[in-house]
Amino acid sequence: MKVNEVLEDLKRRFPNEPEYYQAVDEVVSSIEEVYNQHPEFETNNLIERLCIPDRIVSFRVTWADDAGRVHTNMGYRVQHNNVLGPYKGGIRFHASVNLSILKFLAFEQTFKNSLTTLPMGGANGGSDFNPKGKSNAEIMRFCQAFITELWRHIGPDTDVPAGDIGVGGREIAYMYGMYKKLARENTGVFTGKGVEFGGSLIRPEATGYGNVYFLQEMLVTRGIGIKDKVVAVSGSGNVAQYTVEKLNSLGARVVTMSDSGGYIYDPKGIDAEKLEFIAELKNLYRGRIREYAEQYGCKYVEGARPWYEKCDIAMPSATQNELTGKDARTLLANGCFAVSEGASMPSTPEAVDAFHEAGILYAPGKAANAGGASVSGLEMSQNAMKLSWTAAEVDEKLQVIMKSIHEQCMKYGTLPNGCVNYVKGANIAGFMKVARAMMAQGIL
Ligand code: NDP
Ligand code: 2IT
């Protein structure tokens, strides 16, 4: 199959999966030229094998709430590609979860993990379970029910899940506990575990910190410093919180954060103390970002995203397609000169085109948010060696990896005019490594 035929073929064979087509379209259009320079790729039908997941496991998850009512959700694991190493990627618990979303995430993870320089394949999974408003005991029972099915498909050398939306340290710990009981082994089958039982230091921070490290690398290419820059961040979960923490430590001023209800605009900046309030609000009470505006007397905009506020830099860190073409044009009109994605595929194709046309610095999630997967890879290494590195050691390795990802993007994405197309760079660099490994391992 030719590379330009694959998208139509997928649409025909797998109807109604828009996020999946969107992720595939972005990759195939950036690799087409390189792909066609390698006739052996087409002879081996590499593109079709690369776009269709190796395997999808789906199952029913039944659990009882605190009142004794019995609920059934769907559970999934999309094992996309394991040519570089064990399947590896997040687990998402959100009411919107479906196969289109998980297939896009697993596809994207394959290239992201390739970029990390570590030996990991790509996967993603989750459930349409909605964790909002659930008690701790309900979360625990759900995680246990979910793993009762999933455990037979994962393992430290086969598939290593981690967190994503709705899945943090608490959920990983419950899933890991149940896995251990069923598998009768104590191995690093999940990443993002508690530090007391094999988790890596800096893993909770890694995605947000990594995104800021990547942003810094981009800014350096234009001789721009991060100090005093005004940054709009979306989201207020794991990725957003540590993005803001790192930005603050470097002297930037973060003026927005958001959740699924709306966003806050605090022109004085969300400093360390205010961030502590958000961390408590979100991590302990599962509260709403609106409460920040009540606490600190700033603006809250219900049902909107923060892209209409003036900023120098935007770091979308909530969810897919949260930044549209119209949002992108508004950001550009307000003088925004850099966008670095903490979330997975947060900008729509129209927004990405607008950033590219304007020639601003724009980093796609699969490069900029690869810090989380990278430290997950480092957690796997520590577990395999049965030792643990200090926070400083892990942070240093994370910085080296983010620098290397930036270099790979420059290598494959530098345009004749000297600008870097980070989408093209990340996709080609990620793809070439996977393609070479697939060619070497034969037709499978
Ligand atoms: P969390 O669950 O910790 O936080 C998610 C945040 O995004 C919350 O503020 C949530 O609001 C908001 N959000 C979720 N869905 C929507 C929606 N449909 N519309 C508006 N807001 C929404 O997740 P993470 O921080 O871990 O993940 C955020 C993004 O980062 C995802 O795209 C994920 O794939 C990506 N990512 C995460 C990594 C990790 O290590 N955790 C690694 C790499 C990428 P609310 O509280 O109202 O639900
Ligand atoms: O999207 C992602 O990279 C993640 N949710 C984390 C994956 C991982 O294996 O740490």
CB of residue 377 inside a 6 A radius of ligand 2: no
What pLDDT is attached to residue 368?
A: 99
The answer, yes or no, to whether residue 381 has pLDDT greater than 90, is yes
Average pLDDT, the chain: 98
Q: Which amino acids bring their CB within 6 angstroms of ligand 1?
A: 163-166, 168, 207, 235-240, 259-261, 317-319, 342-344, 369, 372
The DSSP-derived string for 291-317 is: HHHHHHT-EEEET--GGGS--SEEE--
What pLDDT is attached to residue 51?
A: 98
Q: What is residue 109's three-state secondary structure?
A: helix
User: For the chain, how are helix, strand and coil distributed in percent, rounded to 5?
Assistant: 50, 15, 30
Backbone angles phi, psi at 414, to 5 degrees: -75, 125
Architecture category of domain 206-368 in CATH: 3-Layer(aba) Sandwich (3.40)
Query: For residue 29, how far is its CA from the centre of ligand 2 (angstroms)?
Result: 24
Q: Is 206:252 a contact under the CB 8 Å cutoff?
A: no
Structure-token pair, residue 82: 């394991």
The H or E element that residue 405 is part of is helix 391-413
The 10s digit of each residue's pLDDT in 19-75 is 999 999 999 999 999 999 999 999 999 999 999 999 999 999 999 999 999 999 999
Query: Which ligand 1 atom is at minimum distance from the Cα of 319?
Result: 32
The H or E element that residue 409 is part of is helix 391-413
What pLDDT is attached to residue 93?
A: 98
What pLDDT is attached to residue 390?
A: 98
The answer, yes or no, to whether residue 15 has pLDDT greater than 90, is yes
The DSSP-derived string for 245-269 is: HHHHHTT-EEEEEEETTEEEE-TT-
Query: Which residue has its alpha carbon closest to ligand 2 atom 10?
Result: 373
Split at pLDDT 50, 70, 90, the class of 282 is: very high
Q: Which of 433, 287, 402 is nearest to 340 (CA)?
A: 402
Longest dimension (CA), the chain: 64
Instruction: Give the integer Cα–Cα distance in Å for 300 and 294.
Output: 9
Please give the distance of CA 330 from its chain centroid, rounded to a whole number: 25
Could you tell me which residues come within 8 angstroms of residue 18 by beta carbon, excluding any fewer than 6 positions away? 100
The H or E element that residue 123 is part of is strand 122-127
Can you tell me the mean pLDDT for 157-172? Answer: 98
What pLDDT is attached to residue 431?
A: 98
- The ligand placed nearest to the CA atom of residue 162 is 2
Class of domain 53-185: alpha beta
Split at pLDDT 50, 70, 90, the class of 285 is: confident
What pLDDT is attached to residue 378?
A: 98
Going from N- to C-terminal start, the domains of the chain cover: 53-185, 206-368
What pLDDT is attached to residue 68?
A: 98
The 10s digit of each residue's pLDDT in 102-156 is 999 999 999 999 999 999 999 999 999 999 999 999 999 999 999 999 999 999 9
**Buried-exposed string 304-314: b where 16+ CB fall within 10 A, e elsewhere:** ebbbbbebbbb
